[in-house]
């Protein structure tokens, strides 16, 4: 029998989750935990069906395995991101850094390595759903970071006038850093500002997203122009460089 999820208050019954994996016992286990917590749960065993359900049913969160029949988890994530900003947690049977980077760079919000605790997955889902889904009603000024233009309200980044395509979390990290130029934000501070208070994941997640952000900006991690690493502390941006 699955263990109890503790004294946490269930989420509203209208929350909908999509679980995508070709291992039926794992799907049933995750489904049971999510249903206990008040979710309506949809399931799929391949990437094509996952994309169809994501488009038709608009789930609030997707638990998506990396290794799937057909198009696979990475391509499924990329296709879903073309029409949806739903939260995506990627599952991988391998702990290799390349797998994590690949999943996050296509728009996944978090990752878990198999085997994992269903309670930990549930905690990650809860933490994601506590994040605000829309922009703030308070207008924010456009900022300059070197030749980058960061527009928080339009959620747009231009480099030399040309748009740069970022995932939601990559943009949120750049937004947080550019809001306080020259001020170092620790990983814990970035987790709180971007992922929300009470985040239960690995703070290494910040490093992976920053690496993806730098790559898309064309930033050299050894001699960065935009996002600087302050060893042992965190990250900062230097406007006007």
Q: What structural domains does the chain harbor?
A: 16-129 (3.40.50.2300), 143-237 (1.10.10.10)
Read off the tokens for 156. 């747009």
User: How many of the other CB atoms lie within 10 Å of CB of 134?
Assistant: 6
Q: Tell me, what DSSP letter sits at residue 10? A: P
104 within 8 A of 209, measured Cβ to Cβ = yes
Bridge partners, residue 157, by sequence: 150
35-90 pLDDT, tens per residue? Answer: 999 999 999 999 999 999 999 999 999 999 998 998 999 999 989 988 888 999 99
Identify the pLDDT of residue 53.
Answer: 95
For the chain, which residues score pLDDT lower than 70? 1-14, 94-100, 132-139, 197-202, 239-241
């Amino acid at each position: 029998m699955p263990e109890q999820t503790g004294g946490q208050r269930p989420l509203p019954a209208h929350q909908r989750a999509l679980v995508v994996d070709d291992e039926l016992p794992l799907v049933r286990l995750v489904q049971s935990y999510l249903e206990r917590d008040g979710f309506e749960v949809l399931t799929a065993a391949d990437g094509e069906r996952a994309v169809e359900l994501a488009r038709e049913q608009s789930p609030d969160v997707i638990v998506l395995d990396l290794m799937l029949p057909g198009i696979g988890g990475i391509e499924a994530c990329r296709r879903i991101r073309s029409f949806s900003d739903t939260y995506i947690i990627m599952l991988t049977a391998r702990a290799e850094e390349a797998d994590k980077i690949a999943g996050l760079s296509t728009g996944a919000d978090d990752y878990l390595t198999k085997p994992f605790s269903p309670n930990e997955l549930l905690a990650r889902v809860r933490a994601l759903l506590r994040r605000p889904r829309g922009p703030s009603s308070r207008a924010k000024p456009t900022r300059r970071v070197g030749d980058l233009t960061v527009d928080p309200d339009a959620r747009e980044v231009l480099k030399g006038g040309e748009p740069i395509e970022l995932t939601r979390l990559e943009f949120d990290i750049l937004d947080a850093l550019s809001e306080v130029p020259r001020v170092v934000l620790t990983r814990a501070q970035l987790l709180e500002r971007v992922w929300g208070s009470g985040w239960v994941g690995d703070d290494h997640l910040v490093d992976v997203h920053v690496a993806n952000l730098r790559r898309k900006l064309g930033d050299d991690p050894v001699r960065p122009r935009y996002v600087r690493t302050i060893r042992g502390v965190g990250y900062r941006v230097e406007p006007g460089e």
